[in-house]
Amino acid sequence: MTSEGIARTGNNLDPWYSNYAERAGGLAASEVRALFAVASRPEVVSLAGGMPFVSALPQELIMSSMETVMREQGPTALQYGGGAGIPKLREQILDVMAIEGIRGTVDNVVTTTGSQQALDLVTKLFIDPGDVILAEAPSYVGAIGVFRSYQASVVHVAMDENGLIPEALRQTIAHLRGQGRRIKFLYTIPNFHNPAGVTLSAERRPEILDICRANEILILEDNPYGLLHFDEPAPNALRSLDEEGVIYLGSFSKTLAPGFRVGWALAPHAIREKLILAAEAAVLSPSSFSQMVVSQYLSQSDWRGQIDTFRGVYRERKDAMIDALTEYLPGLSWTNPNGGFYVWVTMPDVLDSKQMLPRAVKELVAYTPGTAFFADGRGRHAMRLSFCYPTPEAIRLGVRRLASVVNGELDLLDTFAGTGSLSVRASDRYDEAPPADLK
């Protein structure tokens, strides 16, 4: 093929470049996933990925569940299933959601291949190119990737230590409506937010619902961490307060294990029917085997007690991270979550977490740059630190290495840019309260 032909039909790396659908341009590598190859090296302390500590799960319980399923229901477990999922598991999912005040029926639950697939299906059903999705600032990187892939316009709404700010939501909606733009839904992670670690207050929840109801905006409530609280449970789910205006997404990835890839959506009836059709078009049916193993585990084990065990593990690790940040990087500010996996750290404006990452990896510590969690390029002076997977000792070592990187960057800036008094060492302490604005 001539160079002219290559230019016309593709490029020298991909001869099919010009044949892709326009929406393929929205597909991009996640900054989190891109880190995994490097961060998985044993000498690197990874504070980057949100991997649950599955070693805290008794392996014999999982093995017993698998053996029981294969012994008693093997042919069914290895066969295709219904598009909505196995009825018994959907009944058990109702029991899980009841802990957070949610009522529902088996008919309104759709089992999915992780809650990530549910995110994809909802977006596929509602988004035309150019439609607006409202999302907190910052927001989950995996959701932003899905939204971009369907050519949505993600517009961020400010949040603070009490979660999404109602007045900011009102103003954003009014501004977009004034421009004639179509808002399809609000995507929110109200409990132990990824990446910010904050929780939407009980006082704000009805107000957020009222604002969306008045503006006829659907709410997509993503809640993978809701049961993993430390001191006090999170307020009841948004879905518990509004059954018609909220689609609720849940997952067993954080409270059991991500390898099963079992999540679910609880949706109003009409939406539920379309979700099933979309799921069947994508995968025919979710894995019968995975669903049945999870169902057997819920039937034969003390799953509530196991969640308590996870809470204790993550509480210890969160405390280790907060203690290490206080000792080694007291000049920075950070959130102090009451559950979940993440701490959101804010640095001086002169630092760029994305540009700093290669030096951090060289110093054998990894984190996720704040830019991963914004659709509009913000977040350069912030980073997400995950405390879920490393041991407390490794967390302390990782934060110490991170402090060396941060202070090294500031020393360079002081030397070559004359920033002078900037420092984040122990002599320059900030208050330990979370930052008032996570932008």
* Last residue within a domain, chosen from 280, 300, 320: 300
pLDDT value at residue 35: 62
pLDDT for residue 257: 93
15 in a structural domain:
no
Q: What pLDDT shows up at residue 37? A: 65
Q: H helices of 2-113, where?
A: 3-9, 31-39, 59-77, 87-98
Peptide bond into 195 cis (omega under 30): yes
pLDDT of residue 428: 35
For the chain, report the end-to-end CA distance as a whole number of angstroms. 50
One domain for residues 364 and 425: yes
Q: What is the pLDDT of residue 5?
A: 45
Residue ranges making up the domain that contains 315: 29-56+306-431
78 in a structural domain: yes
Q: Which of 254, 280, 300 is the last residue of a domain?
A: 300
Which tokens hold the place of 375? 């659709």
Domain count, the chain: 2
Give me 178's structure tokens: 């004034």
Q: How far apart are CA 204 and CA 210, in angstroms?
A: 10
- 383 domain-assigned: yes
Domain of 399, CATH number, reads 3.90.1150.10
Mean pLDDT by 10 residues, the chain (439 residues): 45 78 76 62 89 91 94 95 95 97 95 96 97 98 95 97 98 98 98 98 98 98 98 96 97 95 96 95 94 96 96 98 98 97 96 94 95 95 97 98 95 73 44 38
Domain CATH code at residue 291:
3.40.640.10
pLDDT of amino acid 414: 79
* Prediction pTM value: 0.90
49 and 75 both lie in a single domain: no
pLDDT of residue 32: 59
Q: Is the domain of 199 the same as that of 268?
A: yes
Gyration radius of the chain over CA positions: 23
Structure tokens belonging to residue 248: 């609720």
Is residue 101 within 8 Å of 240, Cβ to Cβ? yes
Any idea which residue has 């995968």 for tokens?
283
Query: For residue 366, what is the enclosing H or E element?
Result: strand 365-366
Question: Whole-angstrom Cα distance, residue 174 to residue 168?
Answer: 10
